Amino acid sequence: MDERGALAIAKCASTPPDPSEGLVTGLGLLAAELGTNLPGLLAQTDSIVHGTTVATNALLERKGARVGLLTTEGHRDVIEMREGLKDDRYNLRMAPPVPLVPRARRLGVRERLRFDGTVAIPLSVRSLGVGIAALAKARVEAVAVCYLHSYRNPRHEKLTGRALARRLPGAYVSLSAEVLPQIKEYERVWTTVVNAYVGPALARYLASLAARLASQGYRGDVLIMQSHGGVAPVRESTRLAAGAVLSGPAGGVAAGRYSARLLGEASLITFDMGGTSTDIALLQGGEPQLTGEKTVGVAKIALPAIDIHTLGAGGGSVAWVDAGRILHVGPESAGAEPGPAGYGKGGTRATVTDANLVLGFLDPGNFLGGRIGLDARAARGAVEVIATQLGTTPLRAAEGIARVVNTNMAEGIKIVSVRRGVDPRQFALVAFGGAAGLHVTEVARLLEIQRVVVPSVAAVLSAWGMLATDLRYELVRSHVTEVGRMTAAGLRKLFAALEREGRKRLAHFDGAISVRRALDMRYGEQIFEIQVDLDGVDLQAADLMDQVADRFHRRHEELYAYSAAGQEVVIVNARVAVVGALPVLPAGAGAAERGSATAAARRRVWLGDWVEVPVHRMDALAVGQEVKGPAIFESATTTVLVREGERVAVTRHGWLDIRLG
């Protein structure tokens, strides 16, 4: 995007062995789109914002570093004991999850801090030396250090970090006091281990990417999308690698936040359906919800992250029939290689994309702007296998595949809405990702949602949204005390210390900086806390602590439909987000002028019967144009299906605003 908001879009297949290769290939396509070469494009580029799944994949595929854990003597099994619960608590045969660090590489060190940070047992140099020697013998690539109560006093961890730097100079070292300085041992040790596990892979990748870009003459900034929806420089992203575990999908939610402003619609559900998965998030008041409890694979990550629900449902999701002749779709995906049968790369199993080909929704000769031809015959052959197993026709089997995946995705939206006391019928659905346009209105219909918006840049909305993010640092400090015992001056001092640390990290940033504050709080006898936003609260007010307690009671009632004003309220953690505002993203060039553009072609599609429908080119639509379904809208990167009874209006940005019913 240039300073006027003009967009150029390119899309290419990912390259799992080295993702930087695919990224640079995509930049090359972008350069060609703009009539230049890659060095010419990079010479004119001020900054690159990048969302990556390298950390995610390393964690999910268990291909991270060989990690060792140093912890307080007697506490090395916290990571394996978990919280005393199983994912399926009534399944007696369920095998326990295998931790990322085997017991042989989890070593106790003689030291102990009390809950208030005072030293009970000094750090034993001899014990530490024995532990480091054992890790050196085990040839670890990374070391996680998590001592009891180090969030109150990091001295022992810092001494350990210095010893590791001397004796294991090539190892990636992750200290819990730097990664997550907050109470709760289980969450802290897991987050620190994840940081060490994915850190080397992410560091290698970002170094490779920087070298590739530098070799092409790029000298600007590279900012990495973070799980909390902000961006951070490469150096900070390498240090806090666990903060990028949800880097990829977070870009889509950032786009949803910006879309809320453009549409004047504060209540949105983002629906990102790609090739492998569907990511769903809820925006209330135009802002996504943050959580400190994300589980990715076997790991629990307690760093602030956008609350995104991910389903194994995408264009590449594989359809299969079980022994009872019941049709399932996903969570297994055909991936980029070999991909759906229709890709012609050797895939033989039917996927959602193959079903859409059979139903006529996709044009085999115009996929990715015609750069890739689809094999409709191979797709039909794969769907016929499913049809034979079900005892039906290929068309009915393809319909069934679409219906099952739509139902799965509708249930996923209920998880982020209905199960949290939110009525999805009061929200608009914003659809993006390459596969979403063919499914979104049916998903909306299942939920009785009346408005669906498909941006013109839907297939790359995550990338577009990353341009609308800001530099952001999330800081937390545990301070467990009752509200009645905390003074206003003490709370201001706590927030001021966190703010100073955040502003220090933005020392070289010359833009506007804003600060957001929150507290994790609970009633005295509860064991889980909720996050309470303090935006709008005057920290200098004489009744500050009364306002804080009132905010908590109101938030508790919003979440759980009750509050208990007579009970004591406990502060657990203080949180500060220090945000450096990057230049505002221009809205982008939209449809040219008010009028009416005619359909470019017509195509036969299966909608319970074969129907010939108009096919509109999205780049030829005019502002204010209205189209009644059924119809198809195509761009170089996505296809949108509008069914009977649905009405489309083209917004001033060239987006499809679809009304159902």
Q: Residue 393 has what DSSP assignment?
A: -
The answer to whether residue 357 is domain-embedded is yes
Name the domain boundary from 533, 549, 580: 580
Query: Would you state the pLDDT for residue 587?
Result: 59
**465 lies in the same domain as 475:** no
Burial of 389 (0-12, 13-18, 19+ CB in 10 A): middle
Single-letter code of the amino acid located at 34: L
Amino acid at 16: P
Q: Cβ neighbours of residue 93 under 8 Å, at least 6 residues apart?
A: none
Number of domains in the chain: 5
* Nearest C-alpha neighbor of 486 from the set 415, 401, 547, 571: 571
Taking the C-alpha atoms of residue 204 and residue 218, their distance in angstroms, rounded to an integer, is 19
Contacting residues for 347 by C-beta, under 8 A, at least 6 apart: 334, 338, 339, 340, 341, 378, 382
Q: What is the DSSP letter of 585?
A: P
Q: How big is the CA angle at 167 (ends 164 and 169), to the nearest 5 degrees?
A: 75
Question: In angstroms, rounded to a whole number, what is the distance separating the alpha carbons of residues 143 and 175?
Answer: 8
Q: How far apart are CA 605 and CA 613, in angstroms?
A: 7
Q: How far apart are CA 101 and CA 140, in angstroms?
A: 10
Answer yes or no: is 547 within a domain: yes
- Same domain as 452, residue 513: no
100 within domain boundaries: yes
Residue 1 pLDDT:
85
d(CA 524, CA 568): 5
Write the secondary structure of 189-217 as one string of H (helix), E (strand) and C (coil): HHHHHHHHHHHHHHHHHHHHHHHHHHHCC
| Euclidean distance between CA atoms 431 and 423, whole angstroms | 18
Q: Which of 445, 349, 359 is nearest to 402 (CA)?
A: 359
Residue found under tokens 């690698």: 241
Q: Which residues contact 88 (CB under 8 A, 6 or more apart)?
A: 94
| Contact between 439 and 405 (Cβ < 8 Å) | yes
Do 376 and 489 fall into the same domain?
no
Specify whether 275 is located in the same domain as 413: yes
Same-domain check for residues 447 and 483: no
The tokens for 638 are 């996505």
Q: List strand residue ranges (DSSP E) for 14-62, in order.
A: 47-50
The beta-strand segments (E) located in 560-628 are 569-580, 601-606, 610-617, 626-628
Q: Is residue 234 part of a domain?
A: no
Is there a cis peptide before residue 338, judged by omega within 30 degrees of 0? yes
Last residue of a domain, one of 151, 181, 207: 207
C-alpha–C-alpha distance, residues 94 and 158, integer Å: 39
CA-angle at 228, arms to 77 and 294, nearest 5°: 35
Q: Is residue 277 part of a domain?
A: yes
Question: Cβ(193)–Cβ(157) under 8 Å?
Answer: no
d(CA 396, CA 398): 5
**465 and 481 fall within a common domain:** no
Low-confidence ranges of the chain (pLDDT < 70): 336, 366-372, 585-599
Of 435, 469, 503, the position where a domain reaches its end is 469
Do 314 and 456 sit in the same domain of this protein? yes
Cα separation, 159 vs 417, in Å, equals: 46
Tell me, what amino acid is at 439? H
Whole-number pLDDT of residue 4: 77
CB 132 within 8 A of CB 163: yes
Q: Quick one: residue 49, left, alpha or beta (phi over 0 = left, psi -120 to 50 = alpha)?
A: beta
Q: 552 and 484 in contact (C-beta within 8 Å)? A: no
Q: Can you tell me which residue has the tokens 């945000």?
A: 579
Instruction: Tell whether 553 and 637 lie within a shared domain.
Output: no
Asked, for residue 656, whether it belongs to a domain, the answer is: yes
Non-local CB neighbours of 529 within 8 Å, separated by 6+ positions: 520, 521, 522, 570, 572, 573
Q: Tokens 């995550």 label which residue? A: 462
Residue with tokens 């004489």: 542
Shared-domain flag, residues 492 and 463: no
Query: How far is 575 from 595, CA to CA, in rounded Å?
Result: 51
Question: Which among 137, 147, 202 has a CA at the least distance from the CA of 175?
Answer: 147
Structure tokens at 629: 């379904």
304 and 420 inside one domain: yes
Tell me the CA distances in angstroms from 512 to 505, 578, 627, one per residue in order. Answer: 14, 11, 43
Domain that holds residue 401: 246-469
Same domain? For 271 and 360 the reply is yes
Q: What is the pLDDT of residues 415-443, one digit of tens each?
A: 888 877 789 999 999 998 888 999 999 99
CA–CA gap between residue 145 and residue 68 (Å, rounded):
9
Residues 567 and 552 in one domain: yes
**Sequential DSSP letters for 68-128:** EEEEETT-TTHHHHTTS--SSTT-TTPPPPPPSS-GGGEEEES-EE-TTS-EEEPPPHHHH
294 bridge partner residues: 301
Chain segment 57-104, per-residue pLDDT in tens:
888 888 899 999 999 999 999 998 877 777 777 888 888 888 899 999
The residues with which 367 forms a beta bridge, in sequence order, are 372
Tokens in use for 28?
A: 């090359």
pLDDT of the residue at 586: 64
β-pairing, 268-273 with 428-432? Answer: parallel
Contact in structure between 315 and 352 (CB atoms under 8 Å): yes
Q: Is the omega angle on the peptide bond into residue 331 within 30 degrees of 0, that is, cis? A: yes
Under a CB-based contact definition with an 8 Å cutoff, are residues 470 and 463 in contact? no
Instruction: Write the single-letter amino acid at 507.
Output: A
Q: Determine, yes or no, domain membership for 644.
A: yes
Q: How far is CA 483 from the centre of its chain?
A: 34
**Residue 113 CB partners (closer than 8 Å, separation 6+):** 119, 120, 147, 148, 149, 150, 152, 153, 156
The answer as to whether 530 is a domain residue is yes
By CB neighbour count within 10 A (0-12 exposed, 13-18 middle, 19+ buried), where does 40 fall? middle
